A = this chain, B = another copy of it.
C-alpha cells in the first residue's frame, strides 16, 4: 500500500475513531490536544475528569472570543506599536469529577490499569474512556466516561460518568466540581507561545452550590467580561446515597457518597453551561440565571438526547463534507480527524473566528490570523457555506477597528485588518512579522470574492462584502505609489509577505498580485452595484465617503501593479531583492537547527534566500488563473529548493501546486505530511494545540490538488487524478446551491448532481453537463 504506513502510528488506524489503547502519562500533553472537544465556542482539552498533578498537561477550557488584555511592554517602544495583548483565557474547569473508593482516590498514576481505552468518535462527536482499575489496596472498578460539547447549543457540555465496583461493596464518593483555580500558560522563550498573563485572570465574584447544582460567577480585570459557569448533576444509583454541597475560594463542589454494591453501576451525569457577558450581552444576575437555566434544561433533556442530537448534527456534517479514501486507511483517518477538528474550532456566530490552534491549546494565545481566510474558509466554503459567511461576518464586525488602525498607520482612508487579534485590534508585538503583513487585507478580500463566487450570496455582498472590498482597496491605494524608477508602476514597499523568513521588503509578489486582485474586484463590484443595487451603493458611498475618483484610482493601480519578475531567469521574484540574496547554506545546516527561527537571529535569516513557507507558490495556487503551467513549474522548481517548510502552512500549498504541474510523487509526499501532521505529531508541538490551517490544507490538497478543483471565475472546473496506491477517493462540493458528488478511481472521474439545479462544470477544460439529479457522468482521467 502507500508509504503512509512505514512509521508505526501513535494511534491505531481506524476509519472513524482516534483510539488510545494504553495510558502513558508522558504523552499526556499531546493527547490532551488530540482528544480535545469543541463546538466553535467552548473548547475542552482532553484532560481526565479526575485530573493529573500539575506539570503533566494543561487543564484547558476555552471560550472562543473570551479573552483578557493587558498593556504590552516593549523594551524599546515606538509609535503605534500594538498596545494591548489579548489572550484567550483558560476558564473555569467544569470537567472535574473526582472518585474515591473507601477514601482511596482514583488516580491512573497509582494502582494498576487492567485495561484502558480512550476513543474520540468522529461520527458521534463523543470522547469515551473505558478502563478497569485496581486500587493500591486491591479494589477493582470499571469506569466508563463519555463527554460531549453540544454542536446544537454552543453553551452546553455534558459528561456521562459510570463507575462499577467489580470486587467489592463499600463506600464510593464522587465529587463533582467547578474549579476556578485556573491560569494560562506563560512561555517567554518561544515566539509561537508566550502569553504574559500571570496568575488568576478570572476574579471570582460568587460561588454557590446546592445538592445537585452549582455555579461560579467571575469577571476579568481589564476587559471586564463576566462569566458564569453552571453545573447540574444527576446521580443514578440503586443504592443509598447522600449528597452535599460546599464551596471554597475557587470552587463549587457537590459530593455524593454512595453505599455501593459490587457489580452495580453508579452513573453521574454532569451538565455544564458557560455563559459570558461579551457573548450574551447579559451581566450580573441575568447572566447567572441564563447559565442556570441552560444547565437545568440540559439536565431535563438528558444525556441520551443530547448525544443523539450530536450524532444527528454530525451525520449531516459528514453527509456533505466527508472525503472517502479507499485504499489508505491512515490518510482516511487523518483527513477525517482534521475535518472534525475544523468543525470543532470554527466560531459560527459572526462575532468570533478561528484561532490558529482552534480551541485546543494556548499556542498563539488564541489569536485569529489570515489562516482563516486562506486556509480554513476554502474548506468550509464548499461544504458549509453558512459557516463561511459567519467567519467573514466576523471581519465585517471588526471593520471599524480596522479603519481606526488604518488612521493610526497614517492612511487617511480605508481599513487595515490586524495581523493577529481576537477583538479586532492589532496585537502583534513584532511588527516586521506582524503589522507589516499587509496582505491580510487582500486575503480577506479574496475570501469575500470566493464566497460570493461559490454561493452567489448577493445579499451578503451588497450589505457586508462590498464595504470590506472598498475599504481594503482604499488601503492599497494609499499604501502603494507609482515609482518612476520602476517604470511608473504601482509599487507597494516595506511589507512582509506570507513568508516570514523575509521581512520589510519592497513589492512582495504575493502581496502585489493579491492587492491587484483586491483592487480589481472592488472596482468590479462597485460598478456592478451602481448598476444592480444603486440604492445600496449610494447608501454605502454616503456612509464611507467614497469618491468617484477613488474607483478610477483602484482600476489604475490594479492595471499598473508592479510585479517583480526576472526576465533572464523567467522567475517571479518573491520580492524586489529576493534574488539578490545569498542562498541559505542548506548543506551545512544541521538537522537540529530547524526550524531556523529558533536557531538564527532574524537578521541572519532575512539576509538569505530562504523561505519558511509558500509565498510565491501560494500565489501560484490562489491566483492560479494568472500563471501558465510552465510558469508554475519553473517557479515551483526554484522556490521549493529554498523552502524549509518550517511553517505548518507550507506543505499543503506545495502539494496542491505539485499536483497541478504533474509532480504527483511530491504532491503525495507533501499531502502525507499534512494529513497526519497532528496525529503523528510531525512538528513535535501538538501539545500546544492542533495546526488548524494545515488541517484545512489537507482538504485543499485533495480537492484542489488531486482533484484539481478551482472556481476562479464562475465556473467550477476539475482536473482529477488518482494518487498511486489509492483505489478511489470521493468528496462532495457545495457550489451555488448544488451539491455535487465527485468520485475518482481507475475508471475515471464520476460526477453526480446530488441536489439543486442543473449545472455545467469543466473537466480538464471540457464542459460536463450535470442536468439530472443523481445521474452519474464518468469522465476519463489522465493515466
- Let me know if A602 is at the binding interface, CB within 8 A: yes
Q: In the complex, A428 Cα to B74 Cα: how many Å?
A: 12
A493 near B607 with CB under 8 A, answer: yes
Q: A73 with B188: in contact, given A409-B603, A493-B577, A603-B436 (CB under 8 Å)? A: yes
Q: A580 with B435: in contact, given A191-B77, A599-B79, A604-B410 (CB under 8 Å)? A: no
B76 near A75 with CB under 8 A, answer: no
Q: A580 with B493: in contact, given A75-B429, A601-B79 (CB under 8 Å)? A: yes
Which residues of A (718-761) have their CB < 8 Å from a CB of B? none
Closest CB-CB distance, A112 to chain B, in whole Å? Answer: 45
Stretch from A61-69, A344-352, A478-486, A669-677 forming part of the interface with B: A478-486
Q: In the complex, A624 Cα to B740 Cα: how many Å?
A: 74
Interface centre among A78, A428, A566, A582 (most CB of B within 10 A): A78
B580 near A485 with CB under 8 A, answer: yes
B410 near A78 with CB under 8 A, answer: no
A601 near B72 with CB under 8 A, answer: no
B76 near A506 with CB under 8 A, answer: no
B580 near A408 with CB under 8 A, answer: no
Q: Which residues of B contact A506 (CB under 8 A)?
A: 577, 580
Closest CB-CB distance, A73 to chain B, in whole Å? Answer: 7
Q: In the complex, A600 Cα to B494 Cα: how many Å?
A: 14
Q: In the complex, A606 Cα to B580 Cα: how many Å?
A: 20
Q: A409 with B602: in contact, given A191-B76, A582-B483 (CB under 8 Å)? A: no
Closest CB-CB distance, A692 to chain B, in whole Å? Answer: 20
Interface centre among A85, A601, A606 (most CB of B within 10 A): A601
- Let me know if A542 is at the binding interface, CB within 8 A: no
Q: A491 with B580: in contact, given A72-B75, A606-B504 (CB under 8 Å)? A: yes
A409 near B76 with CB under 8 A, answer: no
Q: Which residues of B contact A504 (CB under 8 A)?
A: 432, 503-504, 603, 606
- Let me know if A598 is at the binding interface, CB within 8 A: yes
Which residues of A (73-118) have their CB < 8 Å from a CB of B? 73-81, 85
- Let me know if A208 is at the binding interface, CB within 8 A: no
What are the interface flags for A573-597 relative to B under an 8 Å C-beta threshold, 1 for contact and 0 otherwise?
0001101111000000000000001
Q: Which residues of B contact A428 (CB under 8 A)?
A: 76
B600 near A79 with CB under 8 A, answer: yes
Q: Which residues of B contact A486 (CB under 8 A)?
A: 580
Q: Which residues of B contact A604 (CB under 8 A)?
A: 409-410
- Let me know if A431 is at the binding interface, CB within 8 A: yes
Closest CB-CB distance, A186 to chain B, in whole Å? Answer: 11
Interface centre among A431, A503, A604 (most CB of B within 10 A): A604
A408 near B601 with CB under 8 A, answer: yes
- Let me know if A547 is at the binding interface, CB within 8 A: no
B409 near A80 with CB under 8 A, answer: no
Tally chain A residues at the interface, Cβ within 8 Å: 55
- Let me know if A663 is at the binding interface, CB within 8 A: no
- With both beta carbons as reference points, the residue of chain B lying nearest to A602 in the complex is identified as B78
The DSSP consensus for interface residues of chain A is loop
- Let me know if A57 is at the binding interface, CB within 8 A: no
Q: Which residues of B contact A408 (CB under 8 A)?
A: 601
What are the interface flags for A202-245 relative to B under an 8 Å C-beta threshold, 1 for contact and 0 otherwise?
00000000000000000000000000000000000000000000
Which residues of A (459-492) have their CB < 8 Å from a CB of B? 479, 481, 483, 485-486, 491
- With both beta carbons as reference points, the residue of chain B lying nearest to A408 in the complex is identified as B601
Q: A601 with B430: in contact, given A504-B503, A580-B485 (CB under 8 Å)? A: no
- Let me know if A630 is at the binding interface, CB within 8 A: no
B493 near A601 with CB under 8 A, answer: no
Q: Which residues of B contact A493 (CB under 8 A)?
A: 577, 580-582, 607
A75 near B85 with CB under 8 A, answer: yes
- With both beta carbons as reference points, the residue of chain B lying nearest to A486 in the complex is identified as B580
Cβ-neighbour of A579 out of B73, B80, B85, B485 (below 8 A): B485
Q: Which residues of B contact A78 (CB under 8 A)?
A: 191, 430, 597, 601-602
Q: In the complex, A566 Cα to B483 Cα: how many Å?
A: 15
B73 near A73 with CB under 8 A, answer: yes
- Let me know if A60 is at the binding interface, CB within 8 A: no
Q: Which residues of B contact A72 (CB under 8 A)?
A: 75
Cβ-neighbour of A194 out of B76, B436, B580, B606 (below 8 A): B76
- Let me know if A189 is at the binding interface, CB within 8 A: yes
Q: Which residues of B contact A40 (CB under 8 A)?
A: none
Which residues of A (409-445) have their CB < 8 Å from a CB of B? 409-410, 428-432, 434-436
- Let me know if A497 is at the binding interface, CB within 8 A: no
B430 near A75 with CB under 8 A, answer: yes
Cβ-neighbour of A410 out of B74, B80, B194, B601 (below 8 A): B601
- Let me know if A196 is at the binding interface, CB within 8 A: yes
Q: Which residues of B contact A194 (CB under 8 A)?
A: 75-77
Q: In the complex, A582 Cα to B486 Cα: how many Å?
A: 12
- With both beta carbons as reference points, the residue of chain B lying nearest to A81 in the complex is identified as B601
A577 near B580 with CB under 8 A, answer: no
Closest CB-CB distance, A167 to chain B, in whole Å? Answer: 54
Q: Which residues of B contact A581 (CB under 8 A)?
A: 483, 493
A494 near B603 with CB under 8 A, answer: yes
Q: Which residues of B contact A576 (CB under 8 A)?
A: 577, 580
A410 near B191 with CB under 8 A, answer: no
Q: Which residues of B contact A410 (CB under 8 A)?
A: 600-601, 604
B603 near A77 with CB under 8 A, answer: no
Q: In the complex, A57 Cα to B603 Cα: how many Å?
A: 40
Which residues of A (589-631) have their CB < 8 Å from a CB of B? 597-604, 606-607
A189 near B77 with CB under 8 A, answer: yes
Cβ-neighbour of A494 out of B189, B491, B606 (below 8 A): B606
Q: In the complex, A72 Cα to B581 Cα: how many Å?
A: 31
Closest CB-CB distance, A601 to chain B, in whole Å? Answer: 4
Q: In the complex, A579 Cα to B577 Cα: how many Å?
A: 14
Cβ-neighbour of A603 out of B85, B188, B435, B598 (below 8 A): B435
Closest CB-CB distance, A333 to chain B, in whole Å? Answer: 35
Q: Which residues of B contact A435 (CB under 8 A)?
A: 601, 603
Q: In the complex, A436 Cα to B504 Cα: how many Å?
A: 13
What are the interface flags for A557-578 relative to B under an 8 Å C-beta threshold, 1 for contact and 0 otherwise?
0000000001000000000110
Q: In the complex, A603 Cα to B601 Cα: how many Å?
A: 20
Which residues of A (346-400) have their CB < 8 Å from a CB of B? none
B601 near A188 with CB under 8 A, answer: no
Q: In the complex, A600 Cα to B602 Cα: how many Å?
A: 24
Q: In the complex, A81 Cα to B76 Cα: how many Å?
A: 12
- With both beta carbons as reference points, the residue of chain B lying nearest to A506 in the complex is identified as B577
Q: Which residues of B contact A79 (CB under 8 A)?
A: 597-602
Q: Which residues of B contact A429 (CB under 8 A)?
A: 74-76
- With both beta carbons as reference points, the residue of chain B lying nearest to A430 in the complex is identified as B76
Closest CB-CB distance, A9 to chain B, in whole Å? Answer: 33
User: Apart from A77-B194, A576-B577, what are 6 other A-B pairs with CB-CB below 8 Å?
Assistant: A74-B188, A75-B194, A76-B194, A409-B604, A494-B607, A504-B603
Selected A-B contacts with CB under 8 Å, 5 pairs: A76-B429, A77-B188, A80-B600, A80-B601, A577-B577
